[in-house]
Each structure stands twice: as structure tokens, then as C-alpha cells.
Amino acid sequence: MLGAAQTADKSERKIPFKIRFTAWWEGFDAGAYYAHVQANENTASTPIERPEYEEKPEPPGEIPFDPWDRDRIDIAQYVWGPGYCGPGGPEHVIAISKLLALSPELSMADIGAGLGGPMRTLADHFGVWITGYEESQALVEAGNELSKMAGMTKKAPLVHYTPTPAFAFERQYDRFLAKEAFHLIDDKLGLLKSVEEALKPEGLVLITDYVLTDDAAVAAESYRIWREGEPKTPFMKTREEYAEIIDKAGLSLRVNEDRTKEQLELVTQAWKGVDKLIARLKDDENSAHLVDVLVKEAELWSRRVDVMREGQVKLCRFLAAKKENRPSMMSDW
């Protein structure tokens, strides 16, 4: 299957962006689908839609995805919704977080908070007090501005952090959330140990993240293309390795489930209106320059979808709890 970043053959005409995206989402070969569209439209004497901009081939590693700039932040919100920069809007975030049994009496930390959309959603819906930890300074600044506009400066602030082995949270929390953040962290065990130390008794940790299906997956061409095209190098672990790391960190794993199908549906839904978004951006002289940024974002997600559809990478959800310090059953003689 061809991704949105690929073209059929160098001798062929460039396939319009909208056609490539439609073929990609529907699971068709882009070249074959384009030929089908041409045949149907020519029969109806309808001119083929062609993009008014020129796509400039660019090495995947040069995508300016992190650190984020203002344009990328704007595009992210166009695609995923206000305050969001990844799959899953308010309804999805509320649904997956019900496992945490949130309430106004609890405090929470969100690792990899992005623009803070998910944490503001949870603070508003459940009344929980949340602090977001984010590596990108640009996202922290933009996210805090959004929290201020929402009247949540104190209830949902973001802080800049760097997940080094020496990192330690300054306070304790009842709950932790990490939404698609840990696969970009090399020392997962070190950060999870910091989480465990900052987790209050009976505390819970919810992680959704990309995992390696198995060791053989790294040999696949789509996996290589995906990994090389990521703005930040992913440090992948299998689902089983994740479970071991969680246990070594002193946490008790309660839920370990594959949510890949759901993730693919979320991404597909968000990108369905890409042609309308392009038209909207081109019609606004102040936003026309964002079309190229949108294309790069689309190509990034094209590669991510490919490795999930082809089975090299999965999206899993893990729920872990702080282990109870029970007294020994043996008497201390």
C-alpha cells in the first residue's frame, strides 16, 4: 500500500494530494485509484481537480516538528481540534480516563501534555487539578496561554521539563497520565521510577503509547521509513517489555490492551476533511502559507498509519497502580 508521501512512478504525473489521501484512507493503491478517478471523470467530461501548489520533496528527517513553531501549532489545532496536537478529542480523552476514577479531590500530572487540551478537558469534566509536563517550550507557552484564556491558570498549568535520569517531580500526585509520550523517551524505566516515587498511596498511572509488535518488525521497510521519518527518534519496546518495565518501576500492571484499531479510526476521522481544510487555507491570504506545513504533517501521519496498518507498531493502553507495602507474613524474631 502506498502512503501519502509516496508517488506511483517517476514517469507518471504527480498524483493530486486529495486523490492520494482518499486512496490512502480507503486502503487502495494510489496509482490504481487515480487511474480509476481519471477514467470516471473523463467519461463525465469533468476536469480532474489539480492542486494549485507545488509539493516540494523533502527528506523526512527535515520536518520541523520539534521544536514546534507557531505555524505547526496552528495546523495541529486545525486537524485535531482546539488545544490538541494529536489523535483523540474531548470525548475520547474522557472515555479512556474513566479508569482513573478522577474527582475534584485528586491531583494529577500529565506527561507529554502538548498544548494541554486533554488536561483541560479532564479538569473541566472531572474537576481534577492537573499539572502538565511538556518538553517543547513552544507548546508550554502556547498551552499556558490557552489555559489562561480558559480560566484554568491554576487548575491546569503546563511546565517545561526534560526527562533525564536525574529528573524528579517536585510534588506528589494521585494520578499520572502519559498519552503517546513514552516511546520518545530513552530511559523509560528511570522516568517511571520517578513517577512511582511521586505517586501517592493507592495512586494510578494511565499510559497510552506506541509499541513494537515484535523484534522482527524492525526488518520491515515500512518500519524503517517510519522510524527515519520521525522528527524525534523513537525508542521502541514490545508490549511484553513495557509490562516488565512497569513492574521493575514498582508499579502493578492492571490493564494491558491493544487499542490500535481505535487509534486508526481517530486518525482517519481527523484527516477526512483535509481537502476542505486545504481549500479554506488557500482562500485566506493570511493562512495560505500553512498549506505546506499541513502537507508535511499529513505525510508524517501517513507513515505512522502505515506501520500500524501493516502490523509493525501497535497502540496500547496500560493502567498501573502503586504497589501496596504490605507487612511481611513472617514474624520478625
What integer pLDDT is reported at residue 301 of this predicted model? 94
Q: Is residue 173 part of a domain?
A: yes
pLDDT averaged per 10 residues in sequence order, the chain, 333 residues = 40 52 60 68 40 36 57 93 96 96 97 97 97 95 97 97 90 97 96 97 97 95 94 94 97 97 96 86 84 91 95 98 65 37
Specify whether 47 is located in the same domain as 121. no
Q: Residues 6 or more apart from 300 whose CB is under 8 A from it?
A: 60, 63, 65, 229, 230, 231
| Tally of domains within the chain | 2
Specify whether 16 is located in the same domain as 150. no
Q: Is residue 285 part of a domain?
A: no
Specify whether 259 is located in the same domain as 159. yes
Domain that holds residue 15: 1-51
Q: Is residue 328 part of a domain?
A: no
Tell me the C-alpha distance between 69 and 13, whole Å. 33
**pLDDT tens, position by position, 250-289:** 999 999 999 999 999 999 999 988 888 888 888 888 888 8
What integer pLDDT is reported at residue 282 of this predicted model? 86
What grid cell was written down for 217? Answer: 518488525
Other CB atoms within a 10 A radius of the CB of residue 284 amount to 10
Specify whether 189 is located in the same domain as 148. yes
Specify whether 19 is located in the same domain as 151. no
What integer pLDDT is reported at residue 38 of this predicted model? 67
Q: Is residue 31 part of a domain?
A: yes
Specify whether 41 is located in the same domain as 98. no
What integer pLDDT is reported at residue 54 of this predicted model? 34
Structural contact between residues 30 and 20, judged by C-beta atoms closer than 8 angstroms: yes
What grid cell was written down for 274? Answer: 483535509
Q: Is residue 299 part of a domain?
A: no
